[in-house]
Structure 1
Amino acid sequence: MIVRAYGAHAADKQVEPMDIFRRDPRTHDVQIDIAYCGVCHSDLHTVRSEWAGTLFPCVPGHEIVGRVTALGPGVTKFRVGDTVGVGCLVGSCQHCGSCDEGLEQYCEKGFVGTYNFPTEDAPGHTLGGYSGQIVVNEDFVLRIKHPPQQLAAVAPLLCAGITTYSPLRHWKAGPGKKVGIVGIGGLGHMGIKLADALGAHVVAFTTSEGKREDAKALGADEVVVSRNDNEMQQHAGSFDLILNTVAASHDLDPFVGLLKRDGTMCLVGVPEHAHPSPNVGQLIFGRRSIAGSLIGGIAETQEMLDFCAERGIVADIELIPIQQIEQAYDRMQRGDVKYRFVIDNATLDGRPRG
């Protein structure tokens, strides 16, 4: 079928309307009318070829919320009318060690991303959620339990939510644990909310004094301005886990020094240029670790969505029509958003929702 979408034909071209092909549902496929799609920094990096390997035409978007409109004959997990989500993954080998453990994001043969990954469908690579519909195998579709009025703000949970939830769960953030969140942006604001909901003592790190009250409103118990050496030293050697959401290259050593013995700093942002090499002595003499984490598997993403639905947790968003996507990209680069843009996909045909 032919579907209206927005994408770019080249790195130096703006995102614009286009028609794309979606396959008819196969045996285990779910067809979804997309209501909302979050705007991730990955979208911007990919569509402008700031990361190598962009395939054009490029239709970004991997924070998708919508409604099931058709099913393949073998689908057992969903019904027409269900509210569902699609995140960063739409496929994996499903039989390697990682997939067998529900860790499809680490598929040893390579997962299939929601956009810009090879596929049999035209045009030969996956096309994302800046579109009216998507067709996905049921094993990569997620159930959304939030109420209708929260659905737009649920969309970023499919990337920003699981990217922060997965390491928090892996390193057992919870009561009795002191957790730091570095950066208060699209990822960081979700990290603060989730670490707080898990019961940890949460300390937010920011370079801006002006974000102190914002961080507390999100659920931080304390806020540290990382440029203030005195504030930093007050927390030396005290953190069980620091979740570093900053994607820009920066000195990791000041944060490593805040970890307890056996503490971990987990990186979830990929910088354009490598971080300066850390002081190995701080790692050796404190048995400290610097680690990384990539989104989450399907089961864990569903766990995160259910956890958030039970507690009323959503992202803080600004809802935009698709026609404002280039302005949104420019604002993202300036850090001018609290904290995530979400596209109202009803505007794909130029009309407002309602």
Structure 2
Amino acid sequence: MGLESIQFCGSPCGEIVQKTFVHPELAADEVAVKVTHSGLCGTDLHFATTDMVLGHEAIGIVHSIGSDVSAVKVGDRVGWGYPNWTCGKCEWCLRGEDNYCPNWRIYGLADLEQGGLSSMSVRKEQWLFKIPECMSSEDAAPLMCGGSTVWTPLVNHVKPYHRVGIVGIGGLGHLAIQFAAKMGVEVVVFSATESKRGEALQLGAKEFYLTQNIDDYSALGNTKQIDRLIICTSAKLNLGLFYPILNPQAMIFPLTASDGELTVPYFATVRNGLHISGSVIATRFMQKKALEFAARNGVHVIVERFPMTLDGVQAAMARLRDGKMRYRAVLSWNNNE
């Protein structure tokens, strides 16, 4: 007999609904995970009008395993994020860049009956990650998507001598500051909110610049030019504003999911050899390393806690939608954990 699960799902009208689902028997490569915690991400808002189980930053305890599973065992604490399966055969998988697999099964497009906002979820063994013993589940959950999103450009493109600008202190930005600072680079924060200055410096930033009502960023007083610029704000920005404070061949990484067009000054981009690079979540290898690095270096998530109930999910979604979350929501079946 299959396992029964309580699930919190989107609906066509955008209302969060509670359902009960009976999972089929496990396939050979599948793992049933009893969910304990789930982070909430801006992407969950995008799928709130889809009939699917929400949540893709989940932590839980392995309940049972398929016959071919060998990477985890019953009782292990594991986490998962956006993907649930990659083909392992395409060019990108063979190159170790499985986060770009064109055949992957990802949140919102496949396995709609599986998600983090539930009591039980069935996942493929392939994209499950053991959580370091010294890391709390509250810290681990947002690292499965938000953390891996900022980790990827930092670990792939930042050198210790770089000066890294981080735009926005929120769900992504407060993690990017910590990761970058603990990598030993010089971190510079740009924010439209003066009240976040102290927090940015406490998290590891060396400098903070207020951008509210500023049209000429060359007047910010930035002491040195920026080598890497990480865009963590959900607000649509005119990237050209930053051009006067970027070094030649600087790289810009827009990380938040958004619609619309990205426009930049054409000649200045060419003349200064600037790079604008998209970036998605970490590869499996880098997700594992991100967890290890965060545990070893004390990267902590600033969270607001909610119970894993219908009221709790609705409250968390509303707070996230209103832009009031500081900085990541984590829901748990035992809200005291």
Q: TM-score, normalised by structure 1?
A: 0.88
In structure 1, what is the Cα distance between the partners aligned to 2:33 and 2:110? Answer: 21
Matches within 5 A, 1:6-21: 6-10=8-12, 12-21=13-22
C-alpha contact (below 8 Å) 2:209/2:222 kept by paired residues = no
Measured against aligned partners, the alpha-carbon deviations of 1:32-66 in whole angstroms (never above 9, x if no partner) come to: 11110000010012113xxxxx4x2x211110111
Partners of 2:114 and 2:89 in 1: CA distance: 25
Q: Does 2:258 match 1:266?
A: no
Aligned residue identity for 2:31 = V
Superposed CA deviations along residues 60-114 of structure 1, whole A, max 9, x for unmatched, are: 11101111111112111111111111111101211111112232221133x211x
Identity %: 27
Equivalent residues of 1:157, 1:314 under 8 A apart: no
Are 2:148 and 1:156 equivalent residues in the alignment?
A: no
* Contact kept? 1:256, 1:265, Cα under 8 Å: no
Amino acid at match of 2:5: V
Alignment match, 1:254: 241
Tell me what 2:330 maps to. 342
> Which residue number corresponds to residue 328 of structure 1?
316
Offset at 1:234? 3.0
Q: Which of 264, 284, 295 is the matching residue for 1:298?
A: 284
| Distance in 2 between residues matched to 1:13 and 1:246, nearest whole Å | 24
- 1:179, CA displacement in angstroms? 0.3
Q: Is 1:219 matched with 2:211?
A: no
Residue of structure 1 equivalent to 2:38: 37
Distance 1:43 1:106 in 2: 21
Deviations 1:178-237 (A, max 9, x none): 001111110111110100111110011101111111111111111111234467543387
Aligned counterpart, 1:112? 105
Is the CA contact (8 Å cut-off) linking 1:97 and 1:108 kept in structure 2?
A: no
Q: Indicate the larger mover: 325-334 or 233-242.
A: 233-242
Once the two structures are TM-superposed, the CA of residue 242 in structure 1 deviates from its matched residue by 0.4
Amino acid at match of 1:343: L
Q: Structure 1 residue 245 and structure 2 residue 247: aligned? A: no
- Alpha-carbon deviations, 1:2-44, whole Å to 9, x = none? 211111332x142121112323222122211111000001001
Q: CA deviation at 1:314?
A: 2.5
Q: Partner amino acid for 1:293?
A: S
Secondary structure at the counterpart of residue 202 of structure 2: helix
Structure 1 distance, partners of 2:303, 2:14, is 26
CA distance, structure 2, for counterparts of residue 127 and residue 344 of structure 1: 17
Distance (whole Å) between structure 2 residues aligned to residue 23 and residue 180 of structure 1: 48
SS for the counterpart of 1:257 is helix
Q: Distance in 2 between matches of 1:272 and 1:230?
A: 25
Quote the residue 2:131 is aligned against: 144
User: How many pairs are equivalent?
Assistant: 331
The residue identity in structure 1 corresponding to 2:46 is: H
Question: 1:315 & 1:225 partners in 2: Cα distance?
Answer: 23
List gaps (5 residues or longer) in structure 2.
none
Equivalence for 1:203: 188
What is the CA–CA distance in structure 2 between the aligned matches of 1:232 and 1:219, rounded to whole Å? Answer: 24
1:186 aligns to what SS in structure 2? coil
The answer on whether the counterparts of 1:245 and 1:268 sit within 8 Å (CA) in structure 2 is yes
Q: Which residue of 2 aligns with 1:169?
A: 155
Q: Secondary structure at the match of 1:342?
A: strand
Residue 89 of structure 2: SS of its match in structure 1?
coil
Residue 102 of structure 1 aligns with which residue? 96
Aligned-partner Cα distance in 2 for 1:88–1:312: 24
| Distance (whole Å) between structure 1 residues aligned to residue 47 and residue 154 of structure 2 | 27
Match of 2:23 in 1: 22
Q: Distance in 1 between matches of 2:7 and 2:324?
A: 25
Partner residue, 1:314: 300
Give the alignment partner of residue 63 of structure 1, picking from 57, 60, 71: 57
Question: 1:159 touches 1:295 (CA, 8 Å); kept in 2?
Answer: yes
What's the secondary structure of 1:310's corresponding residue? helix
Query: Do the aligned partners of 1:4 and 1:20 also contact (CA within 8 Å) in 2?
Result: yes
Q: State the Cα RMSD in Å.
A: 1.9
CA shift in 2, pair 1:232/1:91, >3 Å: farther
Q: Distance in 2 between matches of 1:164 and 1:264?
A: 14
What is aligned with 1:184? 169
Which 5+ residue runs of structure 1 have no aligned equivalent? 49-53, 120-124, 347-351
Query: Distance in 2 between the 1:205 and 1:232 partners?
Result: 13
